[in-house]
């Protein structure tokens, strides 16, 4: 299975995470803006920790929506992206990043991010494919907790998301040969790095 991507900042928010620029899908009026007069720019990058499984050809994750949640009101959502983008996380290693989003949102404090993941698939070098169950990621979204994260007024704030492949894709069976692998459990572990991050959790 061949994987196609949006243009990447190659060599590549997952968070390299780094993907093509994505525009904001909401306005302050309909998204619960903190302050419509004061805006800041947010750039999200994607990358991942080293993945040890030499028998894996690709690990594809499709993200359909990204939201930011203000620290002052957990019921509000600022839509950062509604573009459907697919990443082969194996391409996001050794400092390679992809731009996941680059847009403006109201300046202020944010307590969490929500990533809606539509699907995840692993392809082995023998062309075996495994479609993985998404735990809450396609409904309520994967919740990434943020500690002290601020969007500055009229300034660029950059966050890199580290998608840990080794922890996120748990192999079932014997990983010594493709025939011994019976499947994978998808338990996404995503950490925002660079500013005292918290782990991502489903729910």
Per-residue pLDDT of the chain (203 residues), as tens digits, is 444 434 333 333 333 433 333 344 444 434 445 666 788 888 888 875 545 468 889 999 999 999 999 999 989 999 999 999 999 998 988 888 899 999 999 999 999 999 999 999 999 988 999 999 887 655 778 999 998 899 989 888 889 999 888 888 888 887 777 788 888 888 889 998 865 444 555 55
CB atoms within 10 A of CB 189: 18
Establish if 79 belongs to a structural domain.
yes
**CA atoms of 137 and 115, how far apart (whole Å):** 7
Of 31, 203, 4, nearest to 115 (Cα)?
203
The pLDDT value given to residue 17 = 36
Establish if 6 belongs to a structural domain.
no
- Count the helices and strands in the chain (H runs, E runs): 2, 13
Establish if 184 belongs to a structural domain.
yes
Establish if 98 belongs to a structural domain.
yes
Q: What is the total count of domains within the chain?
A: 1
The pLDDT value given to residue 201 = 54
Establish if 155 belongs to a structural domain.
yes
The pLDDT value given to residue 49 = 55
Establish if 71 belongs to a structural domain.
yes
Structure tokens at 27: 């306005």
Of 59, 61, 68, 63, nearest to 26 (Cα)?
68
Establish if 97 belongs to a structural domain.
yes
With beta carbons less than 8 A apart as the criterion, state whether 19 and 6 touch.
yes
Q: What is the pTM of this model?
A: 0.68
* Number of residues written out for the chain: 203
CB atoms within 10 A of CB 152: 13
Structural domain of residue 116, as residue ranges?
28-201
DSSP 3-state of 196: coil
Establish if 5 belongs to a structural domain.
no
């Amino acid at each position: 299975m061949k994987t196609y991507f949006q243009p990447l900042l190659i060599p590549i928010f997952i968070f390299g995470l780094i993907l093509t620029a994505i525009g904001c899908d909401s306005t302050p009026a309909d998204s619960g803006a903190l302050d419509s007069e004061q805006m800041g720019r947010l750039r999200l990058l994607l990358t991942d920790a080293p993945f040890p499984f030499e028998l894996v050809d690709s690990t594809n994750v499709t993200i359909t929506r990204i939201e930011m949640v203000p620290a002052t009101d957990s019921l509000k959502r600022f839509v950062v992206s509604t573009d459907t983008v697919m990443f082969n996380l194996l391409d996001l290693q050794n400092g390679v990043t992809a731009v996941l989003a680059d847009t403006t949102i109201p300046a202020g404090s944010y307590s969490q991010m929500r990533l809606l993941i539509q699907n995840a698939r692993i392809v082995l070098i023998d062309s075996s494919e495994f479609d993985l169950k998404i735990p809450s990621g396609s409904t309520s979204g994967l919740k990434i907790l943020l500690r002290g994260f601020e969007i500055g007024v009229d300034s660029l704030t950059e966050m890199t998301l580290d998608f840990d492949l080794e922890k996120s894709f748990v192999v079932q069976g014997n990983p010594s040969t493709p025939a011994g692998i019976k499947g994978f459990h998808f338990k996404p572990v995503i950490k925002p790095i660079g500013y005292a991050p918290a782990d991502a959790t489903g729910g």
